[in-house]
Amino acid sequence: MIGNDIVDLRLAKTQSNWQRKGFLEKQFSDTEIREIRTSKNPFLLVWLFWSMKEAAYKCYIKSEKKRFFGTKKFNCTIHSKNKGLVHFLDVKFKIHFDITKEYIHSFGVQKEPKNLTQKAFFISDIAQQSAVTNQYLLANFPEGVCIKKDEIGIPYLTKSNQKLPFSISTAHHGNFGCIAIISV
């Protein structure tokens, strides 16, 4: 299973006041809060942790088939310039992330995949996000492959009404979208 998330940093600066009273305490563990407060760039670390948690959450709900709110229960650690780990209950998610001047893109897996396709891309028209994401995603597959969503909104691929053996994840925020695909 795979999950991914993207944060448009320009939009995050204008639409979210992460410094408001209680925000950090509702979303992050005490350890994460300490790291954010002592960071050289707390804004970036807030949104990196957020993106990592969201990627792990999307991965987790694919196996459990149940949505819930619990960002504080997903605990992030950074291991290198582009890798980290998220712990939730007794599950560990390996997180890979890219930080650019414009966005943060994270994807998470429980086991390292053999075949991974992942891409972040610019979307100039926000109204076109789903169509553009589907265009990028389906360009990797033969004609007739469709994206569908299950009863709780998790995307999957089909061809001739048969579910295909891939785990996919899509995300949008501001002017960016992202996809991640692995064989299962």
| Amino acid making up residue 44 | L
Q: How far apart are CA 181 and CA 119, in angstroms?
A: 9
Q: How far apart are CA 184 and CA 165, in angstroms?
A: 5
Q: Using one digit for the tens of pLDDT, what is the confidence trace for 52-67?
A: 999 999 999 988 888 8
Residue 37's CB: how many other CB atoms inside 10 A?
10
Q: How far apart are CA 44 and CA 28, in angstroms?
A: 14
Q: Using one digit for the tens of pLDDT, what is the confidence trace for 121-174?
A: 555 444 455 555 566 666 767 788 888 889 988 988 899 989 988 888 888 888
Buried/exposed code over 10-32 (b: 16+ C-beta within 10 A; e: otherwise): ebbeeeeebeeeeebeebbbeeb
Q: In terms of pTM, does the model score above 0.75?
A: yes
What pLDDT does residue 174 have?
87
DSSP letter at 101? S
| Closest to 5 measured CA to CA, from 106, 113, 130, 120 | 106
Place of tokens 């692995």: 182
Mean pLDDT value of segment 42-61: 96
Q: How far apart are CA 108 and CA 51, in angstroms?
A: 10
Question: Which residues share a beta bridge with 39?
Answer: none
Question: How large is the angle between the packed helices 30-38 and 42-64, nearest 10 degrees?
Answer: 150
What pLDDT does residue 114 have?
59
* Whether pLDDT at 34 is above 90: yes
What pLDDT does residue 125 have?
46
Q: How far apart are CA 98 and CA 91, in angstroms?
A: 23
159 alpha carbon, distance to own chain's centre: 25
- Detail the DSSP E strand segments found in the chain: 2-8, 75-78, 83-88, 91-99, 103-109, 116-122, 145-149, 155-159, 162-163, 166-173, 176-183
Q: Using one digit for the tens of pLDDT, what is the confidence trace for 67-91?
A: 888 889 999 999 999 999 999 999 9
